[in-house]
Chain A
Amino acid sequence: MGVTVRHAPQKATRPVTAAAPQEPPGPPEDDLAARFRSGDEAALREAYDRFGRAVLHLAISTLSNRSDAEDVTQATFVAAWLGRETFDPTKGSLIGWLLGIGRRKVIDRLRASAREARVVETVRQHPDPTPTRSDPDNVVDRLVVADELARLPGEQRRMLELAFFDDLTHHQIATMTGVPLGTVKSHIRRGMQCLKRRWEVDGATHGPRPAGLPGAR
């Protein structure tokens, strides 16, 4: 692979979540989390605008039925709003918390349909009886890491994207961007640390959440 990879470096990756693509990382999310928790309805709308598509993505990629996925998404935001006082911003981000609620609801739904499937042997509604759906924990982890990646400072993020998406080596990145190799290294190392930390805090396979489906961990 050469170094002439077309990566369109100008097109910023937007947070998995944020509505505006070019927004500088986090118009203070702490503030959004605090307002959400205190019952500010504008914060609910804002949280939905930023995180709604991530929650819907979680549901769609794990459930076989689109309307179930929409139900779960709706129920996630309703439960989050009604239970907003239980959200503890010191334990993780708002999106991590929302995805955690969504993940439990997905798992409940999967269990319920597994029971149904056992009782009703004939598969009626599902044209494909064994759809390969993603594991909820993996989807949550991917969303959390992608969200963090989008929040990294511009240059750090760009180097990581070149490494992850375009499979470039440190040397190739340095050549392509004209950034000294040592700087590339430190950007990538720091960026990786941020991603790892965030994954440890908000991810589903890491951190303090109760285990979901047996073997999900």
Chain B
Amino acid sequence: MQHMDHDRLVFLALGESEADNEERAYLAGCEHCRSELENLRRVADLSAEGQGLHDLPDPPDHLWQGIVAEIRAAERLPTLVEPRRPVTAPDTFADPPARVLSPPARKRARWSGWMTTVATAAAAAILGVVGTAVVLGGTEPEPAPPQQQTVRASASLAAFGETPPEVNGAARVFDNGQLHLHVVNLPDVSGYYEVWLIDPETMEMFSVGVLGGDTDALLPLPPNADLERYSVVDISAEGYDNNTAHSGDSLVRGTLTS
């Protein structure tokens, strides 16, 4: 059977005329034309509903400032893409490959003055939270007391289970027993994030602490923690449910290697 004239389908979709009996009988029997008509109808409805959408209000200024600040903060922090080699402060971070997201300094000039100010202030605030013990390295190489931190083990963290793939990050353990986590795009959860070290053989685990809202966190590990055995870093979504065990809802995981 020949399909219906496409112009006619468009007419029907736009509601310009009604299908007559013959057409109705035909459509009932032809899946192809019926679904084409349905799709055209849907598109026509969506179009009509979208009438006001060409004149949407501009977002408030602070939104852009927030975006810039958050991105700048993310870029300022070490992204831990190459955490294997011993990281020494602070000169290493003047070295571009260690900070993958950081644009060259001259690129930064593209942002207007106030944006840079906002970004720097926010980055500085976050640096404050993370603490100077981490080898963040300011833009000025001279004064910072050279905190030498060697990375004992590191892991890249990947989305686990149904977590969207853009959730990822990295973990590294410093010689001084601190665990540094960097995670981006964690989904909103109603409770909180908890960090675990897991023995992959037995699935025994212990909790290292909770993660706040920042992309970076520094958590102390028990001094005698056996990282060979508890080699999997896991971040889970936990509820305020009076249950201290792992919820089973892992968001990201990675295996520490030294």
A binding-site residues for B, Cβ under 8 Å: 13-16, 39, 41-42, 44-45, 48, 52-54, 56-57, 70, 73-74, 77-79, 81-83, 86, 101, 104-105, 108-109, 112-113, 115-116, 119, 138, 141-143, 145-146, 149-150, 160, 163-165, 169-170, 185, 188-189, 192, 195-196, 199-200
Shortest Cβ distance from residue B180 to the other chain A in the assembled complex, whole angstroms: 18
Q: How many A-B residue pairs have CB under 8 A?
A: 134
Q: Which residue of B48, B55, B63, B166 contacts A164 across the interface (Cβ within 8 Å)?
A: B48
Is A115 a contact of B10 with CB atoms below 8 Å?
A: no
Is B114 close to A, CB under 8 A? no
Is B46 a contact of A79 with CB atoms below 8 Å?
A: no
Shortest Cβ distance from residue B7 to the other chain A in the assembled complex, whole angstroms: 6
Is B13 a contact of A192 with CB atoms below 8 Å?
A: yes
Is A79 a contact of B63 with CB atoms below 8 Å?
A: no
Other A-B pairs, 7, CB within 8 Å; known A16-B54, A164-B51: A39-B103, A78-B74, A83-B166, A105-B188, A146-B47, A189-B6, A192-B44
B binding-site residues for A, Cβ under 8 Å: 6-7, 10-11, 13-14, 16, 39-40, 42-44, 46-51, 53-60, 63-64, 66-67, 70-71, 74, 101, 103, 107, 110-111, 164-166, 184-185, 187-190, 239-240
Is A160 a contact of B53 with CB atoms below 8 Å?
A: no
Shortest Cβ distance from residue A211 to the other chain B in the assembled complex, whole angstroms: 12
Q: Which residue of A16, A81, A105 contacts B71 across the interface (Cβ within 8 Å)?
A: A81
Instruction: Given the known inter-chain contacts A142-B46, A199-B43, please indicate yes or no for A150 contacting B59, CB distance below 8 A.
Output: no
20 contacts between A and B (CB under 8 A): A16-B54, A57-B56, A70-B59, A82-B101, A82-B184, A104-B164, A108-B187, A119-B190, A142-B46, A142-B53, A143-B50, A145-B46, A145-B50, A146-B53, A146-B54, A163-B14, A165-B48, A170-B16, A189-B6, A200-B39
Cα of A213 to Cα of B187 in the assembled complex, Å: 15
Cα of A111 to Cα of B57 in the assembled complex, Å: 27
Q: Which residues of A contact B184 (CB under 8 A)?
A: 79, 82-83
Cα of A16 to Cα of B56 in the assembled complex, Å: 7
Q: Which residues of B contact A109 (CB under 8 A)?
A: 188
Shortest Cβ distance from residue B149 to the other chain A in the assembled complex, whole angstroms: 25
Is A149 a contact of B47 with CB atoms below 8 Å?
A: yes
Is B53 a contact of A41 with CB atoms below 8 Å?
A: no
Q: Which residue of B7, B54, B165, B239 contacts A150 across the interface (Cβ within 8 Å)?
A: B54
Cα of A149 to Cα of B45 in the assembled complex, Å: 13
Q: Which residues of A contact B190 (CB under 8 A)?
A: 112-113, 115-116, 119
Q: Which residues of A contact B50 (CB under 8 A)?
A: 16, 142-143, 145-146, 149
Shortest 8 CB-CB distances between A and B: which pairs?
A146-B50, A115-B190, A146-B53, A53-B56, A83-B166, A142-B50, A145-B46, A13-B54
Q: Which residue of A15, A83, A196 contacts B43 across the interface (Cβ within 8 Å)?
A: A196
Q: Which residues of B contact A48 (CB under 8 A)?
A: 64, 67
Cα of A83 to Cα of B6 in the assembled complex, Å: 41
Shortest Cβ distance from residue B197 to the other chain A in the assembled complex, whole angstroms: 26
Cα of A14 to Cα of B54 in the assembled complex, Å: 5
Cα of A95 to Cα of B107 in the assembled complex, Å: 25
